[in-house]
Amino acid sequence: MNPAPSVIVFTVLSGMGFGFLALLGLFGVQGWLGFFFWGTGFGLAVAGLVASTFHLGNPQRALRAFTQWRTSWLSREGWAAVITLGLLAPQALSDWLGLGWGRGFGIAGAVGCGVTVVCTGMIYAQLKTVPRWHHWTTPAVFLAFALAGGLILSGVRGLAVIALCLLGVLMAVQWFGGAGRFARAGVTMESATGLGRIGRVAVFEQPHTGGNYLMREMIFTVGRRHAERVRMIAMVSGGLLPVVALVFVPGVAGIGLAAVTHLLGAFAHRWLFFAEAEHVVGLYYGRR
Amino acid sequence: MTCLPPHTDKKLGLVIDLDTCVGCHACVTACKGWNDQGYGAPLSDQTPYGVEASGTFLNRVHSYAVQPDDLPAQTINFPRSCLHCEDAPCVTVCPTGASYKRAEDGIVLVNEEACIGCGLCAWACPYGAREMDLAAGVMKKCTLCVDRIYNEELPEEDRQPACVRTCPTGARHFGDLGDPESAVSRLVAEREGYALMPEMGTKPVNRYLPPRSKDRPEEASLLAPLLDIKAAGLAGWLDRVLGKLP
Ligand code: SF4
Ligand code: SF4
Ligand code: SF4
């Protein structure tokens, strides 16, 4: 699949933002530090959501995307995000100004953050046509990124290290399991064309000499050549370096270093998530 | 509404005969021609005369070389368009309700006024039947020529999809696959028509008729009519004389 920058930015930033917001909702930070923290959380989440509208053909109608929550994970994600941000707004206000409104909004909002991130993952995991994504590890890794990112930003070193280890394990499971999933799904050129009943199928001539939307969007072969390298970057920069920074670099510098390296790793992971995923439509073109 | 109708009595669709399709791309052109000026936004092209020419089409014709175990390879032309699936994943993923399946005849359509151009439906379709129009920013797909088949302005014989009407070899058939007595259903039964990628669980309505089995070379040699030709005239005389030489 084509690794479009808008979708990568969307999933990475809003994932981290919602992870951070969930922790702020649960535990709260008061006063002006709270204002700064809440602002960062909202900023990341909203920036991601705004980025996601950049790849729309007609973004001016984006409000219509709230209508089909009964069947569409994309629509559910929209609702979850808006409700969550709405729930957390009074909590942020209360924390900042010391209004003492308890943690009810914050706790509900934290649950909402989790739901939102799962919905984001399900947009991809629901697609049978992309076997690599069609698996529980897709939302699980999204959740683990949100949790690890949130904990790093919160500066809770011990828990952040545990979350980063969990993230590392989940990424490994996602990659190992994902490698053969296309083959295991049992879709081939023979089943795609139904011509397997006659013999082995190969492309004789393509239907068009130029590219088209399908090929640009779903048959992205360039990235896969570098898959192993990007995997290393995602694992080292997303998981290992932040752990090192958190354990060995004291003060804000350690947190900052961990956050920046983790974010870079998250971008690498997400780029690969799209770039190496193969869509079954590629079978009609004899390539994936 | 992106909830699928639980059941449609009528299942309008296409039956494509891979035995007779000659890969002329006439259906591709007819489809583009009709849908460029009818239903919804026109099908735009990007740099059509440039190096990287590309454009929106609702129907594409592939050509495959199929190699049986014990026979020479066969070339099979393979038109590909929307199969108007019963369990259409392209419909349920749509966040806006722009994609829908009609309860009255099973046609899957896009309401372009509501489409935000997110592309998720094209991702959900296993068959590559949806293409985003880059000029209009909305999703395009085969409409089963809904603006022809019910169009009383057209003469009766033209109330069929443009691709079906135009096919010079009659390789495309249109009808109600929900009615077991319809001509298309009988054709499918007779020729063992099949659905594409059933493992994707989309339950396509369209069917493909497999190529008829070919003659076996040992049963009928291609040279058979030539083998017992007797040479006459000068060649015959030479044949006789040379044959006598030791
Ligand atoms: S062929 Fe693709 S676009 Fe057409 S109904 Fe089936 S899933 Fe949807
Ligand atoms: S591109 Fe349009 S029709 Fe397709 S899922 Fe998005 S809004 Fe629905
Ligand atoms: S039925 Fe109409 S829209 Fe569909 S492929 Fe044929 S000509 Fe194109």
CA–CA dist B100, B108 (Å, integer)? 6
Half-sphere exposure at residue B148, Cβ-oriented, CA atoms within 13 angstroms: 21
Q: What is the mean pLDDT of chain A?
A: 95
Number of structural domains, chain B?
A: 1
Q: What confidence tens digit (pLDDT) does each residue in A94-119 have?
A: 999 999 899 999 999 999 999 999 99
Number of H-type helices and E-type strands within chain A: 12, 1
Show residues of chain B in contact with A279, CB under 8 Å.
123
User: Which of B117, B198, B200 is closest, CB to CB, to A58?
Assistant: B117
Q: Which ligand is nearest to the CA of B162?
A: 3
Percentage of chain A with pLDDT > 70? 100
Boundaries of domain holding B22: 12-214
Q: Which residues contact A212 (CB under 8 A, 6 or more apart)?
A: B54, B55, B56, B57, B131
Q: Which residues contact B128 (CB under 8 A, 6 or more apart)?
A: A214, A218, A281, A284, B60, B80, B122
What are the DSSP E strand ranges found in A183-284?
A: 200-205
Looking at the domain assignment, is residue B198 inside a domain?
yes
Q: What CATH number has the domain bearing residue B117?
A: 3.30.70.20
Local structure of residue A134 (DSSP, 8 states): S
Contact A254, A246 (CB under 8 A): yes
**Average confidence (pLDDT) over A144-161:** 96
Lookup result for tokens 């390879």:
B73
Find the range with the poorest average confidence among A26-40, B123-137, B144-158, B208-222. B208-222
Interchain proximity B131–A213, CB inside 8 Å: yes
CB count within 10 Å of CB B17 equals 22
Q: What confidence tens digit (pLDDT) does each residue in B25-40 have?
A: 999 999 999 999 878 9
| Interchain contact A233–B (C-beta under 8 A) | no
Token reading at A138: 């897709």
Q: Which residues pair with B110 in a beta bridge?
A: B99
Element (H, E) at A114: helix A104-125
Q: Which amino acid is at A258?
A: A
pTM score:
0.91
Taking CA atoms only, the protein residue closest to ligand 2 atom 5 is: B94
Reported ipTM: the value is 0.94
Sign, Cα dihedral of A288, B2, B5, B11: negative
A159 confidence band (pLDDT: 50, 70, 90): very high
Contact A9, A48 (CB under 8 A): yes
Q: What is the mean pLDDT of chain B?
A: 92
**Average confidence (pLDDT) over A158-166:** 97
Looking at the domain assignment, is residue B187 inside a domain?
yes
Interchain proximity B64–A203, CB inside 8 Å: yes
Q: Which amino acid is at A180?
A: G
Per-domain boundaries in chain A: 1-126, 156-288
CA–CA dist A65, A267 (Å, integer)? 26
Q: What angle in degrees, to the nearest 10, is found between the helix axes of A157-179 and A227-235?
A: 160
User: Which of B63, B91, B199 is closest, CB to CB, to A187?
Assistant: B199
Q: What confidence tens digit (pLDDT) does each residue in B44-68 have?
A: 999 999 988 999 999 999 999 999 9
